Structure 1
């Protein structure tokens, strides 16, 4: 791990986003909360929250960060869901990896919950994809906003 002993403890914030493309029929069932495994958005939010809290246990050189705030947003559109995760902490290193990890696990959870709806006749997923995972911003110290 990188030595952060001499870094100052300051407010940190990061936001990440990503997208999952799904069939329109699947989106309709998600909106109507008719997916067999349950409420897709709420489950993805819970899974993403757990992922944020456990990032250092999943990524070998990532420092454990005392996360103080996690906020998810899910934009459900006609053929995709955009997941955004904002993480805040007061620490010596940033929280962008936590935000990215939260987004990716939330997206994977969505896929897992609807995969039976997305499969074609051969058992593949020709129209389903996860992409555009990116850090929207990261801030520290004076650049921090609440």
Structure 2
């Protein structure tokens, strides 16, 4: 079970030198640990498009199969896409979908044994999978929206485990 904590904040940007130029952080002294991150994102569309998506009947084919492979490829290509990300020996990537009536939620989990976390790889997997879904449905819905891309949880490393805090209902909005 993951521990829910507040995100750590720091006033030091580790990817910037004192003169403001970018640098790749030296992680050579960090311990190798098992690290995992899960991210999510949503593609909103119409109920009619969701029916086609769920049945694999979009004009371009099975969008979910394509998006799953695209997300896995995205995770593997993260250090090529994000300049200051370290290349990591990724040991596992999963990309899953939850179909709703007007949206598909994408969940990606990435795992490694390494010296730095895999949050960026999980975010990239979700982003690329979402872009692939969008590409596959744009012929039938040019108004689809990609949103809500975020890290849900991470584990391993010096900073420990973290899970996004659950949304707490605003008591001021409850019925009187």
> Given the two structures, how large is their TM-score scaled by the length of structure 2?
0.75
Structure 2 contact 115–157 (Cα < 8 Å) conserved = no
Q: Can you list the C-alpha shifts for 1:108-129, whole angstroms capped at 9, x where unaligned?
A: 000000101003xxxxx2xx21
> Given the two structures, how large is their TM-score scaled by the length of structure 1?
0.90
Q: Can you list the C-alpha shifts for 1:1-22, whole angstroms capped at 9, x where unaligned?
A: 0000100111000000000101
Aligned residue number for residue 43 of structure 1: 66
Q: How many equivalent pairs are there?
A: 137
Residue of structure 1 aligned with 2:35, choices 12, 18, 22: 12
Residue of structure 2 aligned with 1:113, choices 136, 139, 163: 136
Higher strand share: 1
Structure of larger gyration radius: 2
Deviation at 1:68, TM superposition (A): 0.1
Q: Can you list the C-alpha shifts for 1:30-64, whole angstroms capped at 9, x where unaligned?
A: 11211111111110000000000010000000000
Displaced runs of 4 or more, over 3 A: 141-144
Unaligned runs of 5+ in 1: 120-124
Higher helix share: 1
Unaligned runs of 5+ in 2: 1-23, 162-176
